[in-house]
Every structure is written in structure tokens, then in C-alpha cells.
């Protein structure tokens, strides 16, 4: 079911400072910020040869990233995103196996303009998992 790792997401309290660190200290290529109001975040992608790192900053009231940063004020790893060929098929297979799909269970459009779903971290050893259809 799982394809390659699409990205690893890191919640940060200051997206501009994090982008500067990745660009100027680590020499990485960093995308422009992209606001995703439907997900409550602003993101940038650090482009690597073999995957991406997504830096997330809270956007708006009730952002899930704001709640994460309350518990982890310096930031930290938020989720890992795996690619799947068919997100609806993956969701049905996971539900049949007892995994919980977060939200209303229906895919939303993510930062790459592709359908995404999130899986409950308690079902995956404390790690929030995102699936993205490719």
C-alpha cells in the first residue's frame, strides 16, 4: 500500500526563522510560504534530493499546529507523509484493519493539490501519519 516517503513535517513557532535556518545555515532550497486555511497552517517545503521537509506554522484560530506548539513550544516533528496510489482504497483497507482516519474520513486537498488523509497517531505508535495520493 505505502509508496515512498513524500515528506516529514516539522511544526515551528516562526516559519520565517525556520526557513532562514534551513536556507542559510543548511544550504537547502526552500519554497515560498503557502497558506492553507482549510488545514489551519502556513507551510514551506524544504526540497531535498530524496524527499521534502514541510515546515508548518499555525494559521488562524483553532489551528492544530497551535495546539501542538502549546505542548512543544520550540517545535518538533509533527507527522510523516507516505504516498499511496489510491487514497480511497487505502482508507477503506485501513478502516477494515481497525485504523482510524481523522476528521470526517474524507480526503481533503493538501499543499501539493492532491488528496490527503490523516491517520490517528495512537494507531501508529504515537506518530501522526498522512497519506497523499500520487
Query: Which CATH number fits the domain 2-133, given the four candidates 3.10.180.10, 3.40.640.10, 3.90.850.10, 3.40.50.2300?
Result: 3.10.180.10
- Active-site positions read 130
For residues 38-59, b (16+ Cβ closer than 10 Å) or e, as one string? Answer: ebbbbbbbbeeeeebbbbbbbb
Q: What does the pLDDT look like over 24-76, one tens digit per residue?
A: 999 999 999 999 998 999 999 999 999 999 999 999 888 999 999 999 999 99
Task: Classify burial at 118, counting beta carbons within 10 Å of its beta carbon; exposed 0-12, middle 13-18, buried 19 or more.
Answer: buried
Residue with cell 497551535: 66
Query: Could you count the other beta carbons within 10 Å of the beta carbon of residue 120?
Result: 12
Per residue in 74-116, pLDDT (tens digit) is 999 999 999 999 999 999 999 999 999 999 989 999 999 999 9
Degrees (nearest 5) of the Cα angle 99, 67, 123?
15
> Which cell is 60 given?
488562524
Give the 3-state secondary structure of residue 24. helix
Amino acid at each position: 500500500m505505502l509508496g515512498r516517503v513524500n515528506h516529514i513535517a516539522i511544526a515551528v513557532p516562526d516559519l520565517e526563522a525556520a526557513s532562514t535556518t534551513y536556507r542559510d545555515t543548511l544550504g537547502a532550497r526552500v519554497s515560498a510560504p503557502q497558506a492553507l486555511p482549510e488545514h489551519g497552517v502556513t507551510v514551506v517545503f524544504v526540497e531535498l534530493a530524496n524527499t521534502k521537509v514541510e515546515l508548518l506554522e499555525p494559521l488562524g484560530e483553532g489551528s492544530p499546529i497551535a495546539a501542538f506548539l502549546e505542548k512543544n513550544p520550540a517545535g518538533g516533528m509533527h507527522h510523516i507523509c507516505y504516498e499511496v496510489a489510491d487514497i480511497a482504497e487505502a482508507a477503506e483497507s485501513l478502516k477494515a484493519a481497525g485504523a482510524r482516519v481523522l476528521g470526517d474520513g474524507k480526503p481533503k486537498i493538501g499543499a501539493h493539490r492532491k488528496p490527503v488523509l490523516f491517520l490517528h497517531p495512537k494507531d501508529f505508535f504515537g506518530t501522526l501519519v498522512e497519506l497523499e495520493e500520487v
